[in-house]
């Protein structure tokens, strides 16, 4: 059984090459993945991300529950609308999923989790919530669009419902705004909810809106020359931006420290969170780290290829590419790789039995249209 978003007909009409993604029929590209990538880096594009799972956590203990459930600390969110990126860990410290949580009110938080992990996430959250005064509700009545690129906000503003245009113009980074009815009804009302967040390394918005209104809004965006972007470009954009993809760059078998995500952990004295004890030994340092690689020779690194440390003929240690691609902005191969913490400035990637030199860098590779590392 394959799911379709509220915008399926729009994708087909725009020439989308539809593929299965986590049980959803989604557009891989609309003609050229490379052109779509450049469009987002240079102007503005729109992604249908309605397949992602929106979960509302409401109730008097919403904050207490999320402080226990998540490895980052929602108590850091002091002003309404602020967003936080966090891992959700199992008791062994493995990553069940990564997510964004928005602070709507003391008794109302909204989370966005991955489509591919929907069922296990919802089960886990439900199970863990049993001893808290909270309710967990999946918002499958909402469509979600990501509008990304240097001109995304400015082009989108005038197309929004009255009242939200000005709020979006004033919106801070990693901050959300919404229609009054959303907060007043504790989320019962499926009104518009807009965050200045994204997965591309560019400025932009993520907009949740009632499904019935999504097709007309999509048409207005296209008329404003915000062009549709498929999942293919979404992956090259996020990798250039140094953002992890769940399922490849981190899984339940890896901890946040082994996935370049130590910065998302909050070690408050008095806060117990799921997985805390298991990852405590890695608080200071981890044996394995996630790094960025820029390939120095011709070729394109791909997931699961071997990384050689030291002399490639007699490597002192090995690592593995977790995701790799051709960077359309840098015009060379880039990757995220999990390698030993002791690695040196240059490593080798084994591509079809040839060892290609690669420079180790700290992600991101590209941000706000600029290449951050000279090769």
User: Site residues (CB under 8 A) for another protein?
Assistant: 28-29, 32-34, 232, 236, 298-300, 302, 325-326, 328, 333, 352
Q: Please report how close the Cβ of residue 34 comes to another protein at its closest, in angstroms.
A: 4
**Shortest spacing between CB 318 and another protein, in angstroms:** 21
319-336 b/e with 16+ CB inside 10 Å = b? bebbbbbbbbbbebbbbb
State in angstroms the smallest separation of the CB of 235 from another protein: 9
State whether residue 213 is helix, strand or coil: helix
Radius of gyration of the chain (CA): 21
Cross-strand partners of 103: 109
- Residue among 37 and 338 whose Cβ is closer to another protein: 37
The 3-state DSSP class for residue 33 equals helix
| Smallest gap from residue 182 Cβ to another protein (A) | 38
Residue 295 beta carbon to another protein: minimum distance, rounded to whole angstroms? 10
Residue 201 CB, nearest approach to another protein (Å):
17
Angle at the Cα of 138 from the Cα atoms of 92 and 206, rounded to 5 degrees: 95
Q: Which CB atom, from 94 or from 328, has the smaller least distance to another protein?
A: 328
Nearest to 195 by CA among 203, 183, 185, 187: 203
Question: Greatest CA span in the chain, whole angstroms?
Answer: 65
CA-CA-CA-CA dihedral for 146, 231, 260, 114, to nearest 10? 70
Choose between 203 and 240: whose C-beta lies nearer to another protein.
Answer: 240
Of 32 and 126, which has the nearer Cβ to another protein?
Answer: 32
* 184 close to 107: Cβ distance less than 8 angstroms: no
Q: 109 or 326: whose CB is closer to another protein?
A: 326
Query: Residue 107: how many CB atoms within 10 A of its CB?
Result: 15
Distance separating alpha carbons of residues 282 and 332, to the nearest angstrom: 33
Q: Which is nearer to another protein, 93 or 228 (CB)?
A: 228
């Amino acid at each position: 059984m394959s799911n379709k978003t509220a915008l399926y007909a729009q994708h087909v009409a725009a020439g989308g090459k539809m593929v299965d993604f986590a049980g959803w029929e989604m557009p891989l590209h609309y003609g050229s993945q490379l052109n779509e990538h450049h469009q987002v880096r240079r102007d503005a594009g729109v992604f249908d991300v309605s397949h992602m799972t929106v979960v509302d956590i409401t109730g008097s203990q919403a904050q207490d529950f999320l402080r226990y459930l998540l490895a980052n600390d929602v108590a850091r969110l002091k002003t309404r609308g602020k967003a936080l990126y966090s891992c959700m860990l199992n008791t062994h410290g493995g990553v069940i999923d990564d997510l964004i949580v928005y602070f709507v009110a003391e008794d109302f938080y909204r989370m966005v989790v991955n489509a591919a992990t929907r069922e296990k996430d919802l089960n886990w959250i439900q199970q863990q919530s049993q001893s808290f005064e909270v309710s967990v509700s999946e918002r499958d009545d909402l469509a979600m669009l990501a509008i990304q690129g240097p001109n995304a906000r400015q082009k989108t503003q005038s197309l929004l419902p009255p009242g939200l245009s000005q709020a979006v113009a004033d919106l801070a980074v990693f901050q959300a705004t919404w229609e009054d009815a959303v907060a007043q009804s504790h989320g019962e009302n499926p009104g518009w909810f807009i965050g200045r967040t994204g997965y591309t390394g560019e400025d932009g918005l993520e907009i949740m809106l009632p499904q019935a209104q999504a097709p007309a809004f999509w048409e207005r965006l296209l008329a404003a020359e915000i062009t549709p972007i498929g999942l293919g470009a979404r992956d090259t954009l996020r990798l250039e931006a140094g953002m992890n993809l769940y399922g490849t760059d981190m899984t339940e078998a890896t901890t946040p420290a082994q996935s370049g995500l130590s910065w998302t952990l909050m070690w408050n004295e008095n806060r117990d969170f799921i997985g805390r004890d298991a990852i405590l030994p890695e608080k200071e340092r981890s044996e394995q780290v996630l790094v960025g690689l820029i390939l120095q020779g011709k070729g394109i690194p791909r997931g699961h290829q071997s990384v050689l440390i030291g002399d490639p003929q007699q490597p002192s240690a090995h690592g593995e590419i977790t995701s790799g691609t051709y960077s359309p902005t840098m015009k060379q191969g880039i990757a995220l790789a999990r390698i030993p913490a002791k690695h040196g400035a240059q490593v080798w990637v084994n591509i079809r039995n040839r060892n290609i030199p690669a420079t180790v860098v700290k992600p991101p590779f590209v941000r706000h249209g600029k290449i951050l590392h000279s090769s």
